[in-house]
Amino acid sequence: MARFRRYRSGSGRVVFLLVLAVCGFFILSSMQDKYGYDFGLPSLSLPGMEELLDELEAPSPDRPISSQVVERADLKVHFLDVGQAESILILAPEKTVLIDAGENDQGDLVVRYLKEQGVSSIDLLIGTHPHSDHIGGMDIVLNKMPVETVILPILPDDLIPTTVTFTDLLKAIDRAGLEITPALPGDVYDLGGGAGLTLLGPVRDYDNLNNMSVVARLSFGSTSFLFTGDMEKEAEQDLVEQGAPLASTVLSAGHHGSQTSSRKAFLEAVNPKLAVISCGLDNSYGHPHREVMERLDALGIRVLRTDLDGAVVLASDGENIEIQVAQNRIAA
């Protein structure tokens, strides 16, 4: 055993000296190349090394809206990957907000995601408009998690759905002992720590449910986020004409990137640095539409998509917004 140890020890010494010699060679050789010294060593050239160093020194492409890393993420906005649907979680300093909850079969997925984020109750649950890809999972959320306030748009009588999805939601709201709080433009919800959610729309009745979507602007310090549900061009135009405070750092692009929405005048009024599109991979609608992607590109707005990037998490410290997670798919 002793001999074996000695042998290993000797071998270790040889390896150590060898490593030292190789390191010395590399250091001297690179000094020779860099500073023109001549140590009589062959020139060191590793294929791809220059490119690798350039890459390491280049600013990370993941932080177009912030040159700095957010150190204290006091507010986070999660755009869940729920396929061709929408669900957005806001973790504000003192309140938790869930905007939409995916399709009918995604309620459990949304609840699981929320629990993974340490969420055990919801302060504000907002259903942007009663289509199944937005409110489908809300009944499950209400059944499985305490909710303080439910906000829905007030609909004109002829648009009130008779679908099972909507009826299920009303039943779940009732079972939870809650009343519906109507979405009224101008209402401000204090989320603590200087964060606030201001409702901007819908500003009038429309003849389609998409335009009845609740529009909400989240502000935190000098950063802001605009959530638009499936709002289309008519409602966008009304907000622009009324001079609504649309300007936001991040836009949740309306109607899954459909060309019915994200018109040029609206995009210019919002003037976001980043747009997030919630849509499903290879969805049958062709969302996001090419026209919208071209408009966003022409205005220099970076795009993140849940179909390609998976769940998108944006963190704000009130000054900078950092893209913390992309490519972390939670749903097929």
Q: Which two tokens stand for residue 96?
A: 């938790």
d(CA 108, CA 144): 9
CB of 87 to Zn ion, least distance (A): 11
Tokens 């936001």 locate to: 248
88 in Cβ contact with 312 (< 8 Å)? no
Backbone φ and ψ for 188, nearest 5 degrees, come out as: -120, 130
Stretch that binds Zn ion, among 32-40, 107-115, 161-169, 230-238 (CB under 5 A): 230-238
Nearer to Zn ion, 81 or 230 (CB): 230
Residues contacting residue 58 through CB under 8 Å, at least 6 positions apart: none
**3-state DSSP assignment of residue 62:** coil
Q: Is 230 in the site for Zn ion (CB under 5 A)?
A: yes
For Zn ion, the closer of residues 123 and 230 by Cβ is 230
Please list every residue from 98 through 137 that binds Zn ion, using CB under 5 A: 133
Closer residue to Zn ion, CB minimum distance, 230 or 232: 230
Instruction: Give the number of other Cβ atoms within 10 Å of residue 212's Cβ.
Output: 27
- What is the per-residue DSSP string for 169-216? HHHHHHHTT--EEE--TT-EEEEETTEEEEEEE--S--SSGGGG--EE
Q: Under rule CB under 5 A, how many of the chain's residues touch Zn ion?
A: 2
Using CB under 5 A, which of the segments 73-81, 183-191, 223-231, 286-294 binds Zn ion?
Answer: 223-231
- Closest distance of CB 99 from Zn ion, Å: 12
| Complex with Zn ion: residue 111 or 279, whichever CB lies closer | 279
| In the complex, minimum distance from the CB of residue 320 to Zn ion, in angstroms, rounded to a whole number | 30
> Judged by CB, which is closer to Zn ion: 65, or 101?
101
What's the min distance (Å) between Cβ of 98 and Zn ion? 16
Residues near Zn ion (CB under 5 A)? 133, 230
